[in-house]
Amino acid sequence: YVVFLCVKPNVLKTVLKEIRKEVEGKLVVSTAAAVTVGFCKRVVPKARFVRIMPNVAILVQESFTAYCCDDDVTKEDREKIKEVLDVMGRSMEIEERYMDAVTAVSGSGPGYLSVIVEALTYAGLKVGLPRDLALISAAQAVLGTAKLVLETGQSAAQIRDSVTTPGGTTVEAIYEVEGSGIRQALMRAVEAATKKSEKIRKQWE
């Protein structure tokens, strides 16, 4: 059996204690952000734990879900979990030490990208587009660019260069974007989110 525990970190310990007997010997998948597999293992030593970090795009089966396992999780368990998680998008097993950073990049990523889509939408409104046209053109541009990266193997820089014509509209826009400090802002955002995740995690070690 695979047991999914989709609860908030502050109630996870209580829930685990309540169901301890029922989950002993079973594979338990926890979505509780920042709570380590070691913490879970100390509460229920006889269960096998997997910690996952999906994002909100799971609602449309486009999440990236990072996961890590305790040492008792078998090869068969790992294959089973990956099969389940891949239905929800893409997944990858990682070392637990990377979870804070993945939380900042992928878990919080839809938040940053929503700001970008919203900004592009309002930019469209500013230059005269109807609201629905501005929104769909902005959102589809983000979706299409992501698919180009994932499905063609092109880097983000290659895609940028492929649409940047000397003296054209895109290079004019990129000049303005680079001058705004957007790269540094996103890097600072990810760094801040990583540090926040680390701070929360330390409560559960």
Handedness of CA 194, 199, 203, 205 (dihedral sign): positive
Half-sphere exposure of 43 (CA within 13 A, CB side): 20
Map residue 57 onto helix, strand or coil: helix
Cα separation of 69 and 36, whole Å? 10
Q: What is the structure's pLDDT at 205?
A: 72
Q: Residues of the chain with pLDDT > 90: what percent?
A: 96
The CA distance from 105 to 107, in Å, is: 6
Q: What is the mean pLDDT of the chain?
A: 96
Q: Is 109-198 a domain of CATH 1.10.645.10?
A: no
- Is pLDDT of 203 > 90? no
SS3 17: helix
How many beta carbons lie within 10 A of that of residue 12, not counting itself? 20
Delimit the domains of the chain by residue range. 2-100, 109-198
Name the pLDDT band for 175 (thresholds 50, 70, 90): very high
User: How many Cα atoms are found within 13 Å in the side-chain-facing hemisphere of 191?
Assistant: 6
User: How much is the average pLDDT of 158-184?
Assistant: 97
What per-residue string of b and e applies to 46-79 under the rule 16 or more CB within 10 Å gives b? Answer: ebbbbbbbbbebbeeeebbbbbbbbeebeeebee
pLDDT bucket at 82, cuts 50 / 70 / 90 = very high
Judge if 2-100 and 109-198 fold alike in CATH terms: no
Query: Among the residues of 73-108, which ranges form H helices?
Result: 75-86, 99-102
Per-residue model confidence (pLDDT) at position 111: 98
Contact 34, 197 (CB under 8 A): yes
Residue 47 pLDDT class (50, 70, 90 cuts): very high
Predicted local distance difference test score (pLDDT) of residue 1: 81
- Tell me the pLDDT band of 26, cut-offs 50, 70 and 90: very high
The residue-averaged pLDDT of 174-186 equals: 96
pTM: 0.91
Band of residue 161 on the pLDDT scale cut at 50, 70, 90: very high
How is domain 2-100 classified at the CATH fold level? Answer: Rossmann fold (3.40.50)
